[in-house]
Amino acid sequence: MERTADALLSALLAGNRRALARVISLVEDDAAEAPALLSALYAHTGRAHVIGITGAPGTGKSTLVNALARAYRAQGHTVGVIAVDPTSPFSGGALLGDRVRMRDLAGDPGIFIRSMATRGSLGGLARATADVISVLDAAGFARILVETVGVGQAEVDIASAAHTTVVVEAPGLGDEVQAIKAGVLEIADIFAVNKADREGADRTVLALQMMQGLAPATTGHHRAAGPPTPHARPQPGPQEDGSWLPPIQKTIALHGDGVDALREWIERHAAYLTATGGWARREATRAAAEIERILRDRLWEALLAGLPADCFAQTVAAVVRRETDPYTAATRLLTYAP
Amino acid sequence: MERTADALLSALLAGNRRALARVISLVEDDAAEAPALLSALYAHTGRAHVIGITGAPGTGKSTLVNALARAYRAQGHTVGVIAVDPTSPFSGGALLGDRVRMRDLAGDPGIFIRSMATRGSLGGLARATADVISVLDAAGFARILVETVGVGQAEVDIASAAHTTVVVEAPGLGDEVQAIKAGVLEIADIFAVNKADREGADRTVLALQMMQGLAPATTGHHRAAGPPTPHARPQPGPQEDGSWLPPIQKTIALHGDGVDALREWIERHAAYLTATGGWARREATRAAAEIERILRDRLWEALLAGLPADCFAQTVAAVVRRETDPYTAATRLLTYAP
């Protein structure tokens, strides 16, 4: 590693914010010095609690992330925020409002906020996010909030980078709202039902409970014979068998309602992970996912680098002409000998 | 290829629906005979118009896809529908309603509907979707509608598998609705503003026009001096410079309003692609994406197969203990010599 990179790393570890911003930019830009920097700072990671917060547009999760950051600051914890939420240059009032609210926190050295842009290609985003988490961890931030939008691959990738995943729902998002994705249910450690002052909040909570298999279906024809017994639903959190039942926390992020209770659930989840060995397992999952991402990219780059300049394009053209098919073409490229 | 696979392929090409369902299952399950089947049927592909339809939960895109399928059937086109929308076993009334509506079409041999499940891991979904598109194409379906949910990686992957991408928006999805994702704007060939009878539909149309740079901002303080001139907005569709301006089509999928106009826009887009050479370019993009996905998976599998059984796990453990870092670990695994 060159001396400038060395100096940059020392400044980062000493808490210099400009060094932190510079290292993050190098990592985001996939700069030549990024791998060496990441290698060197990795020994200083492993102390942060990484919290993924995900949900569909309209759930108010940006506001919730801001409120949660403030709740953590009130407890004296340092907070890094990564907003993996690529919005167009033309974004409406809501996001702008969030950014304005964020300014409340801007003068505070105990918090660092970074938006991650995709720049058209989303391919390297999961890797870049994992790398920026490592940078903030090395810089000493105790809690790292990673905000992602949508219900797709990105969420699952982000979940593989988090210790605790909060899935944000909201009432009244339309008639598909009940169709909460199975994949999202599987990654949720905690549910936040935000905008809980809106009509339908209780229905959203009930729908989540039913998904958890903890409430009887009460729709029309199949109504249960009697009312559900209040003892039927176990307390959320750690269970006697060592598992974790995701709590469902109502919040009104805009007014701060329920946010501290949500923060406490996140802390309880970390304690549960530590007590049960789950923390070590999640660390292993995170590391395995990161190594796999690096290896997949390097293998692909090495294969392309070993092919003549137009070999891949010619193969694609042959597939388009149906002279060959993608599977046969892939086999030929794998065994290409000059 | 074995004789049973050969017979299966012949039956598929002859229009046998059970053979079609069987081949799709083999592809989805990543069965041993899947690559040989896909290789063999690929020569019969390249005739279908692949249409991606994507949008956030609550936009009613499942209903729109059903209505569009019916509109195509009314024109005499055969239609394949792939719903890449992994919903939990507990999905509410809306999706159930869709499935019921779908039954209108169930007796029709000119349509084939398939839901793609993720089974926890979303990793191989994009590849499986591309493969199922090839199967339906070889089976002779003229239009293939690929429905995806969310605003993440999945959309971009699906767009790489489609000739025409329709992005569905809807009014009143919450205060983040204006924050339409830049990546989604880039992949949209056509916008559908569904639920157009709801309040705010015109605002959604205007927001999309503003994103396209075609309408002046008229919010509060920055209202333009005069009314916008009606000539300022060019007609959507093919432009004189050879580009394509995505049209914005209002629809009420539930009543069928605007659906045939949307179908006509999709057909016009295909004609535009054919006339400008764009079709061949999209075919090349599709083939390149599919070959890359196959190669990346095979390279990764080959690397793992070449390592001793617990080598990867031990490397992960060393990274978790911070004895090494993911980048150094990746380099070691790449250059592993027994």
Phi-psi group of B220: left, alpha or beta (phi > 0 → left; psi -120 to 50 → alpha; rest → beta) = left
* B178, amino acid identity: Q
3-class secondary structure, B230 = coil
Taking the CA of residue A228 as centre, how many other CA atoms within 13 Å lie in the half-sphere pointing to its CB?
15
ipTM surpassing 0.90: no
3-state DSSP helix/strand/coil percent for chain B, to nearest 5?
Answer: 50, 15, 35
Percent of chain A topping pLDDT 90: 56
Interface test with B, best of A63, A184, A296, A325 (most B CBs within 10 A): A325
pLDDT at A111: 93
pLDDT at B124: 66
Contact of A150 with chain B, judged by CB distance below 8 Å, is answered with yes
CB-CB under 8 Å, A42 with B325: yes
Average pLDDT over residues A258-285: 96
Of B177, B181, B303, nearest to A88 by CB-CB distance is: B181
CB-CB under 8 Å, B182 with A89: yes
Measured in degrees and rounded to the nearest 5, phi and psi for residue A309 equal: -50, -50
Enter the DSSP assignment of A166. Answer: E
pLDDT at B107: 78
Mode of pairing for the β-strands spanning B244-245 and B237-238: antiparallel
pLDDT at A61: 86
Which residues neighbour A264 within 8 Å (Cβ) at sequence distance 6 or greater? Answer: none
Higher pLDDT, B254 or B214: B254
The pTM for the full model equals 0.80
Contact of B197 with chain A, judged by CB distance below 8 Å, is answered with no
Interface of A with B in 284-323 (CB under 8 A): 284, 287-288, 290-292, 294-296, 298-300, 302-303, 312, 315-317, 319-320, 322
Lowest-confidence region among A156-165, B263-272, B308-317: A156-165
CB-CB under 8 Å, A177 with B92: yes
Of B94, B150, B210, nearest to A90 by CB-CB distance is: B210
pLDDT at B60: 86
From the list B174, B178, B191, B148, the residue with the least C-alpha distance to B52 is B148
Which residues neighbour B295 within 8 Å (Cβ) at sequence distance 6 or greater? Answer: A300, A303, A330, A333, A334
Segment A81-120, tens digit of pLDDT: 988 754 432 232 334 344 444 555 667 889 998 887 654 4
Contact of A152 with chain B, judged by CB distance below 8 Å, is answered with yes
| CB < 8 Å to B151, chain A | 57, 149-150, 152
**Contact in structure between A22 and A51 (CB atoms under 8 Å):** no
Q: What's the pLDDT band for A219 if we cut at 50, 70, 90?
A: very low
Enter the DSSP assignment of B95. Answer: H
CA distance readout (Å), A324 to A31, A143, A216: 37, 52, 54
For B34, the closest chain A residue by CA position comes to: A327
- Asked if pLDDT for residue A220 goes beyond 80, the answer is no
Segment A42-53, tens digit of pLDDT: 999 999 999 999
What is the rounded CA–CA span in Å between residue B178 and residue A203?
26
**Contact in structure between A26 and A33 (CB atoms under 8 Å):** yes
State whether the Cα torsion A149-A155-A161-A164 is positive or negative.
positive
Q: What's the pLDDT band for B2 if we cut at 50, 70, 90?
A: low
3-class secondary structure, B181 = strand
Average pLDDT value over all residues in chain A: 82
- Alpha-helical (H) ranges within chain A are 3-13, 17-28, 34-41, 61-74, 93-102, 125-138, 153-159, 182-187, 201-211, 259-276, 278-305, 311-320, 326-334
pLDDT at A183: 56
CA distance readout (Å), A74 to A78, A103, A154: 10, 16, 30
Higher pLDDT, A94 or B210: B210
**Contact in structure between B256 and B67 (CB atoms under 8 Å):** yes
pLDDT at A89: 29
Lowest-confidence region among B12-16, B59-63, B115-119: B115-119
Biggest alpha carbon–alpha carbon distance for chain B: 76
Of B59, B86, B92, nearest to A181 by CB-CB distance is: B86
Contact of A153 with chain B, judged by CB distance below 8 Å, is answered with yes
CA distance readout (Å), B335 to A34, B17, B328: 20, 48, 11
CB-CB under 8 Å, B88 with A175: no
- Asked if pLDDT for residue B119 goes beyond 50, the answer is no
Contact of B209 with chain A, judged by CB distance below 8 Å, is answered with no
Q: What's the pLDDT band for A137 if we cut at 50, 70, 90?
A: very high
Distance from CA of A265 to the nearest CA of B (A): 25
- Asked if pLDDT for residue A263 goes beyond 80, the answer is yes
Q: Counting Cβ atoms within 10 Å, is residue A128 exposed (0-12), middle (13-18) or buried (19+)?
A: buried
- Asked if pLDDT for residue A70 goes beyond 70, the answer is yes
3-state DSSP helix/strand/coil percent for chain A, to nearest 5?
Answer: 50, 15, 35
Lowest-confidence region among A82-96, A243-257, A299-313, B248-262: A82-96
What is the rounded CA–CA span in Å between residue B242 and residue A27?
38
**Contact in structure between B137 and B47 (CB atoms under 8 Å):** yes
**Which strands sit side by side in the sheet containing A190-193, from one edge to the other?**
A111-115, A79-84, A143-149, A49-55, A164-169, A190-193, A248-250
What is the rounded CA–CA span in Å between residue A113 and residue A105?
9
- Alpha-helical (H) ranges within chain B are 3-13, 17-28, 34-41, 61-74, 93-102, 125-138, 153-159, 182-187, 201-211, 259-276, 278-305, 311-320, 326-334
Interface test with A, best of B211, B323, B327 (most A CBs within 10 A): B327
- Asked if pLDDT for residue B302 goes beyond 60, the answer is yes
Q: What's the pLDDT band for A227 if we cut at 50, 70, 90?
A: low
- Asked if pLDDT for residue B95 goes beyond 50, the answer is no
- Asked if pLDDT for residue B16 goes beyond 50, the answer is yes
Q: What's the pLDDT band for B293 if we cut at 50, 70, 90?
A: confident
pLDDT at B200: 87
CB-CB under 8 Å, A219 with B93: yes
- Asked if pLDDT for residue A156 goes beyond 70, the answer is no
| CB < 8 Å to A151, chain B | 57, 149-150, 152
What is the rounded CA–CA span in Å between residue A281 and residue A263?
22
Segment B216-261, tens digit of pLDDT: 544 444 444 555 555 567 899 999 999 999 999 999 999 999 999 9
Higher pLDDT, B328 or B119: B328
Average pLDDT over residues B16-39: 92
| CB < 8 Å to A155, chain B | 152
Q: What's the pLDDT band for A152 if we cut at 50, 70, 90?
A: low
CB-CB under 8 Å, B316 with A178: no
pLDDT at A102: 58
Domains of chain B, each with CATH number or no CATH: 1-42 (no CATH), 45-221+232-277 (3.40.50.300), 306-334 (no CATH)
The token pair at B287 is 């083939």
- Asked if pLDDT for residue A268 goes beyond 90, the answer is yes
What is the rounded CA–CA span in Å between residue B114 and residue B25?
10
What is the rounded CA–CA span in Å between residue A66 and residue A96?
13
CB atoms under 10 Å from CB of A189, counted, come to 24
Matching residue, tokens 């993050």: A24
Secondary element (H or E) of residue A254: none
Average pLDDT value over all residues in chain B: 82
The token pair at A263 is 């923060």
- Asked if pLDDT for residue A121 goes beyond 70, the answer is no
Of A38, A186, A207, nearest to B92 by CB-CB distance is: A207
Higher pLDDT, A219 or A29: A29
Q: What's the pLDDT band for A215 if we cut at 50, 70, 90?
A: low
Length of chain B as a residue count: 338
Distance from CA of B108 to the nearest CA of A (A): 27
Segment A176-206, tens digit of pLDDT: 444 455 556 678 899 999 999 998 899 888 8
Between A and B, how many CB-CB pairs are < 8 A?
284
